Amino acid sequence: MKKSQQILGLPVLSIEEGKQIGAVKHLVLSPENGAVKYILVEDDAWYSGFKAVPFEKVLGIGEFGLTVESRSSLSAVTDMPEAVELLKKDIRLPGIRVLSKKGRLVGTVGDFIVDERTAEIAGCQLIPAGGEKTAGVIPRKLILTFGRDFLVVEEGTESMLVSDVQETFQDNAYGEEAGRDRLEAHPDAPAATAQSTPVAENKEQPLDVLEHFEEQQRKYILGKKVTMRIVADSGEVIAEEGSIVTDEMIERAKATNTYLRLTLNIRD
């Protein structure tokens, strides 16, 4: 099991070439399947945009890197229609609100846990409404909908949280009552991590790399022509088809969560 934050920033390693060919930048989620479908990668050709690798082509996700067979496992995002469609849905779980199916605010998502063998989302960490710390993990079986704005869960989810991500599977065998007993026995236990200390020491590096990439990406897209109309959820028009990318346009896109859409729809 891996938290999403333990995957983001990992080096992407080619087994065939025996070297690093990129870094993980984003997990592309399928809300219908509740799984990671693609992994966005920044490679040395950053100026041409993100690359993507289907999760089924990932050989493994370890403590020090994500492995693929070769560089040919990566493709331009624009050459992968399904990946583009999923990116347009913009499913980003950390930070979104958690609602019960009757519309009650339960809290927010802290992070989500991925089963690296199957790509399925095994559970989501819950930060209770009005709280600041994670209370436990919402098991996958209690999640009804993976939405862009809300994660919808069963009523009474708060009483069925688990303290260890492995329990999202053990509960199927021992029942929901066993899961409650374990959480009550260890109320302050943090969610289990699938990585050890070296990764924690590396937390700042992905941010530095990402900031560098974003600056280079900004320089690359400035002056490019927009190939489709970009509209925010509020109805604000961020860019008209045929318009030229400016600094102001980039800032508006970032402020309205349409920046990725903008970068995927430009040309010289």
Put simply, whether the predicted model's pTM sits higher than 0.75 gets the answer no
* Cα–Cα dist 171/182, whole Å: 10
Please give the full DSSP string across 132-176, using - where no structure is assigned.
-S--EEEEGGGEEEE-SSEEEE-TTGGGG-BSSTTHHHHHHHH-H
Domains and CATH numbers, the chain: 2-89 (2.30.30.240), 97-185 (2.30.30.240), 222-267 (no CATH)
pLDDT level of residue 40 (50, 70, 90 thresholds): very high
3-state secondary structure (DSSP) of residue 81: helix
* 90-114 pLDDT per residue, tens: 899 999 999 999 999 999 999 999 9
Q: What is the pLDDT of residue 43?
A: 83
Q: What is the pLDDT of residue 193?
A: 35
* 144-159 pLDDT per residue, tens: 999 999 999 999 999 9
Q: What is the pLDDT of residue 191?
A: 40
